[in-house]
Amino acid sequence: MEKLKIEGGHKLKGEVRISGAKNSAVALIPATILAESPVTIEGLPDISDVAILSSLIEEIGGSVSMDAHELKINPEKMISMPLPNGKVKRLRASYYLMGAMLGRFKKAVVGLPGGCHLGPRPIDQHIKGFEALGAKVTNEQGAIYLRAEELKGARIYLDVVSVGATINIMLAAVRAKGRTVIENAAKEPEIIDVATLLTSMGARIKGAGTDVIRIDGVDHLSGCRHSIIPDRIEAGTYMIMAASMGEEVLIDNVIPKHIEPLIAKLREIGVEVQTNDDQVLIRGKENLKAADIKTLVHPGFPTDLQQPITALLTKAEGTSMVTDTIYSARFKHIDELRRMNASVKVEGRSAIINGPTELQGAKVKASDLRAGAALVTAGLMAKGITEITGLEHIDRGYSHLVDKLSGLGAVIWRERMTEQEIEQFQNS
C-alpha cells in the first residue's frame, strides 16, 4: 500500500493534458458487450476503474487488448456469466453490466455496485427502467437478477434525474423491440458520448443530451471505433488546483462548454480564466473572494467538483457556503480539511467555510475519490508536508496524478506505507 506526500507552497506553472473521461469510459466499456464484432475505444484514462471493468469483460469471455491508450474489445465469445460478487463491488459503474448484458443476452446477474460512499445511492430508477422494458428483476443476497423473454420498448419517466439510470436504460433499450422514450433523462456529456458509441455500433438514438431520449431498438449491433471525450471533472480539478497555487497553467484537451459553471464560479471568486476551443488557461490570484455554490444536475455545478472547490475556498476572503443538492453525505473531506487548519463546518447539506486560513500540512485520509482531490488541492496550498492515505480512491479517477502535478512544478510523490501505518490505516 502507498501514501501520497506533498510539500506544499510550490507554485504551479506550465501545461497539463487531460485524459479521457472516467464516467464515459466506465459506460463505454460495458456498452461493447452489445456489439457482435470488435470495438476499439481511443483515449481511455489509465485508472483503476478502467482496469477493473476490462478484467470483468474478460471474466465474461470477452477478449481485451490495450495498446497505448487504445482498448480493443472483442465481444464475440462473451456469455452471460453471473457476476454476483468480487470486482463488481469495487466500482459504481459495474451496474452498466446489467443493462448491457440484459440487452444482449436478455439475462444477467450482477452484484450491487460499490463506488464512492456519499450517502444513499439506490438504483431503483435503473430497476424501474428494466422492468418497464419487460425484465423480471429480483434482488437475491445483494445481487440483482434480471431476466426477460424479450425486451419491449416503453415510455419511462425517471422520478430522479440519474446519469446511471439514463445510460443503463439506453444500453438495454437499444436491443428492445420498438421504441423506448426516456423522460426526465440526465443530460451529462458522458450520456452523449455513450449514445455516440452506440449509434456508431448501429443503434438508433435521438435526443441524448436533452431530457427526452428516444431509442428505436435494432436486432444487431456491430463493432466500430470510438474516441472518448475529455474528462471534465479531471479538467475541473486541475483548474481548481491551478487557481489555488498557479501562476499560469494551461489545461489542454478540455471542452470548455462542459465546465461552464466552474469557469463562472472561478471568475466570480477572482481567478482569471481564458478559454479557446480545447484549452483553458488559469492565472492564479492571491486575493480570492468568498462565494456560494450549489451543486445541481447537469448543466448545473457538478457535485464531483464540490469537494475540490471547498478546499480552494479556504483561501478566499469571507464566508462561502457550498451546498450539495445531489448527495446527502458528501462531506467526509471536511474533518480532514479541519485537521489542516481549515475553518469549515457542516450544517445539513452545506459546508460553511470561513477564510482565508493558512493551511498546515497534516496526515489525512481520502475517504472517496473527490475527497482525495480536495486533500491534494489543500496539500498543494499548505505549509509543510501533507500525507494522504486512501490512494485506492484517487487511483479510481485520476490518471498519472503525480506525474501531471510534478510536471507543473508541484513537489509530490508516492511512498510505500510501513506495516504499522497499514495497520493504523485499516483500524481508522
> What distance in Å separates the CA atoms of residue 357 and residue 117, rounded to the nearest whole number?
28
Contact status: 160 vs ligand UD1 (CB under 6 A): yes
Report which residue type is found at 152: K
Contact status: 332 vs ligand PEP (CB under 6 A): no
**Smaller CB separation from ligand PEP, 93 or 309:** 93
Peptide bond preceding 356 in cis form (omega within 30 of 0):
yes
**Smaller CB separation from ligand PEP, 35 or 44:** 44
| Stretch 165-184 residues interacting with ligand UD1 (CB under 6 A) | 165
Instruction: Find how far residue 247's CA is from the centre of its chain.
Output: 27
**Smaller CB separation from ligand PEP, 35 or 254:** 254
> What distance in Å separates the CA atoms of residue 348 and residue 149, rounded to the nearest whole number?
46
- Total residues at the site for ligand PEP (CB under 6 A)? 10
CB of 168 to ligand PEP, least distance (A): 13
Q: Is 385 labeled as ligand-binding?
A: no
DSSP 78: -
CB of 295 to ligand UD1, least distance (A): 8
Residue 348 is placed in which grid cell?
Answer: 445539513
- Residue 294 forms beta bridges with which residues? 323
Instruction: Find how far residue 246's CA is from the centre of its chain.
Output: 24
Contact status: 234 vs ligand PEP (CB under 6 A): no
Q: Which does 397 bind (CB under 5 to 8 A by kind): ligand PEP, ligand UD1, none?
A: ligand PEP
Q: Is 121 labeled as ligand-binding?
A: yes
Burial bucket for residue 280 (CB in 10 Å: 0-12, 13-18, 19+): buried
Contact status: 258 vs ligand PEP (CB under 6 A): no
| Stretch 255-314 residues interacting with ligand UD1 (CB under 6 A) | 303-304
Q: Quick one: which of 254, 370, 238 has its CA closest to 302?
A: 370
How many residues are given for the chain? 428
Q: Is 92 labeled as ligand-binding?
A: yes
| Stretch 7-36 residues interacting with ligand PEP (CB under 6 A) | 22
Contact status: 93 vs ligand PEP (CB under 6 A): yes
Q: Which stretch binds ligand PEP (CB under 6 A): 88-96, 154-162, 198-206, 343-351?
A: 88-96
Contact status: 92 vs ligand PEP (CB under 6 A): yes
Contact status: 369 vs ligand PEP (CB under 6 A): yes
- Residue 3 forms beta bridges with which residues? 415
> What distance in Å separates the CA atoms of residue 299 and residue 302, rounded to the nearest whole number?
8
Q: Is 326 labeled as ligand-binding?
A: yes
> What distance in Å separates the CA atoms of residue 22 and residue 27, rounded to the nearest whole number?
9
Per CB under 6 A, the list member of 31, 52, 110, 123 interacting with ligand UD1 is: 123
HSE-CB for 24 with a 13 A CA cutoff: 29
| Stretch 94-123 residues interacting with ligand PEP (CB under 6 A) | 115-116
Q: Quick one: which of 318, 341, 315, 344 has its CA closest to 331?
A: 344
Q: Which residue positions form the known binding site for phosphoenolpyruvate?
A: 22-23
Q: Which residue positions form the known binding site?
A: 22-23, 92, 121-125, 304, 326
Q: Which residue positions form the known binding site for UDP-N-acetyl-alpha-D-glucosamine?
A: 92, 121-125, 304, 326
